[in-house]
A and B are shown apart, each in its own frame.
Chain A
Amino acid sequence: MSTETGLEPRYTRTRHRTARGIAARSLLYAVLIAIAVVYIFPFLIDLATSFKSEADAAGDPLSLIPQTWTTAAYQRLFLSSDFPVWFKNSVIVTLLVTAGRVFLDSLAGYALARLQFRGRNTLFALLVGVMAVPGVVLLIPKFLVINQLGIYDSYAGMIVPLLTDAAGIFIMKNFFESIPASVEEQARIDGAGPFRVFWSVVLPMARPAVITIVILSFQGSWNELAHFIVSSQSPGLTTLTKGVAQLASGQLSQGTQYPLKLAAAAIMTIPVAIVFFVFQKRILNASDGAVKE
């Protein structure tokens, strides 16, 4: 307790003008910069190593400048491996899943928020219950059902199950509830049916929520691994995550081949990185706008 009183005067003054204040701020920056380096450096190493020769990668793993620049890893990936196929599959699946989720999530979210029908509360309770089922538990069950439905080893089997997105519906429902009901009333009076009201009046207003779903779905389906393992087997249907995971576990090739693997890892990071930087403001400062004081 004595320390408390002892320190009191310092805090009643404007503290960052004191020498200790400056020292404290420098320390803050030093600590943050050190942590930032730890967080960023691995990605720089990833990029640098992908342009190194194998010997260079093993010999000097820390250096960010390859002794001799080589694009051998990238050439091998794009010219003599299935990598382009994996990339294509990831793009197809991600785009379709994202589009599907945006549509289905907002449709269901709207119904749950705005339309009155018997059983709505039960549905919502079910939805919440379903959100609690951990994904990994579904690994074997999903395989069984996909199989039973006859869509195993097809795009349908890879895409359709990923459209289930209880969290997304939840987000959309919350958003629609925040839109004043008066907006729709007018359209209704003008004789628009529920789908018209949803499609041309409410959905355009939901842009921020839709963008959230886009970001989440894109990231989620681009980075998904387990589902693709159990839903397909043909090499023609391999996605980036599955392909690179198998490359990494050494099953496709012999030896370590770090430049090759790291080049693959770097390329698969690019699309999510682009989405991240495009929507960076929204992702990182999301809550800034929400502060109501």
Chain B
Amino acid sequence: MQRRTRWFTAGALAIAGALALTACGSGFSGNSSGGSTSNGLTKSSKPLTVLIGSSGDAETKAVDSAVADWSSSSGTKATVTVASNLAQQLSQGFSSGKPADVFYLSTDQLAGFASNGSLLAYGDKLANKSDFYPSLVQSFTYNGKFYCAPKDFSTLGLIINTDMWKAAGLTDADIPTTWAQLETVAKKLTTPKHVGLAIGGEYARIGAFMTQAGGNLMNATSTKATADTPENVAGLTEVKKLLNAGTLKYAKDVGAGWGGEAFGKGLAAMTIEGNWITGAMSTDFPSVKYQIAELPAGPAGKGTLQFTNCWGIAADSPNQTAALKLVEKLTSASDQLAFSKAFGPMPSIKSAAAEWKTANPMLVPFLNGADYAKGVPTAKGSADVVTDFNSKLESLATSDPKTILAAEQTNLEALVK
């Protein structure tokens, strides 16, 4: 009996302790700290932290120097941090009330963070708001609010190793424009030493085939699940066909981390990647000669996927005014062109397009892709579904496309209900 009371006492003490903790609550700041200015943004003299997910040294250096430039001209200190796991670090930062002020934010994370109030919806305050491509603005609009400035964008293209291309007796006229032609060249380019085509075994690459067949996982506004359509089945079936023919392999299966590595190391003669591959090629594999082509068309014509990130600003940032200024600078034509030069993405503003095309004649196929590119799903929770889809795509060679897509249809429908 006595023992029992003691246990109760101990429990009560612990609960009291928990309550005391809540009362002090120093770690969680519900409201953003720092004084507010007339336009509703916080303002203080605190230095800014910028959190990025970098594709490599090229990107890190470019962002570093752009932020340093701004820092010296504005007088506000700012440091760039490369996230090792962006999603986790953002999430941990928001939960702890100590987020980075400015950060990369992907389309699939927007809904989750916007809905729990972690993000500052500053889009309408941007001085250069009207210069962004409308489709990109759409990608970063949640519940009717334009949240953050598109940082840049990329599309997928076909990257071809020109030496291997020539060695297989192929010429420029052979660059595939249809699935049938892709099958033919992939077969010709497959040798015991390398495979014809190596891609990452994930939706972000294979999805391009789905768009070429006229499908995609969700509709343009991510309000309706469209996974189990015959178009999507056709897209996956084509990839499965190439896999089973041995002319297409996933990068992992040739011992590479991603398509670009397989391509750079000469394990594959072609790959499907976005603009970012140019940065990696010049840093890691400068001796490999390559050219870029638009992806071949499928039964529904040309198709590719479009990827974009934005510069998010935290609702808890104590210095949103400066953060906004920094973002305006980072999305200016001159900065975006510099980024493009360093690691290949395309400027998110219309005013930089012409100059970009002249500066990057080799990359024009990527920008051409923008005309018909489709976005990835942005509904809240869609990232999970895509992860699940990716895990099933790993065994695409031996499974039924229809079954895979039916399962994802169910999962996606659960999100938009």
Contacts and interface: CB of A to CB of B under 8 A. Distances in A.
A119 interface: yes
Interface residues of B, number: 34
Nearest to A55: B265
Nearest to A153: B98
Interface stretch (B236-244, B254-262, B361-369): B254-262
Contacts of B81: 234-235
A84 to B, nearest CB: 17
Interface residues of A, number: 30
A230 B93 CA distance: 11
Contact of A230 (B28, B84, B92): B92
B271 to A, nearest CB: 13
Given A147-B95, A148-B21, A252 B84 contact: yes
B351 interface: no
A254 B258 contact: yes
A255 B284 contact: yes
A255 B85 contact: no
Interface in B16-63: 21-22, 24-28, 55-56
A59 B258 CA distance: 19
Nearest to A235: B81
A135 interface: no
Nearest to B49: A234
B145 to A, nearest CB: 27
B193 interface: no
Contact of A149 (B26, B85, B97, B260): B26
Interface in A40-63: 58
A119 B10 CA distance: 11
Contacts of B258: 254
Contacts of B85: 246, 249, 251
A20 to B, nearest CB: 49
A147 B97 CA distance: 9
Interface string B384-414: 0000000000000000000000000000000
Given A254-B55, A256-B255, A147 B96 contact: yes
B417 interface: no
A161 interface: no
Interface string A234-252: 1100000001001101111
A122 B3 contact: yes
B22 A148 contact: yes
Interface string B66-110: 000000000000000111110011001101111000000000000
A233 B28 contact: no
Nearest to A246: B84
A147 B261 contact: no
A153 B3 CA distance: 40
B92 A233 contact: yes
B261 A148 contact: no
A247 B84 CA distance: 8
A152 interface: yes
Interface string A148-165: 111111000000000000
A126 interface: yes
A122 B6 CA distance: 8
Contact of B27 (A126, A149, A243, A251): A149
A256 B27 contact: no
B257 A254 contact: yes
Given A148-B26, A152-B27, A254-B55, 4 more contacts: A149-B27, A151-B27, A153-B98, A254-B284
Interface of A: 58, 119, 122, 126, 143, 145-153, 229-230, 233-235, 243, 246-247, 249-256
- 7 closest residue pairs by CB, A with B: A246-B84, A150-B26, A147-B27, A251-B84, A150-B27, A152-B96, A255-B261
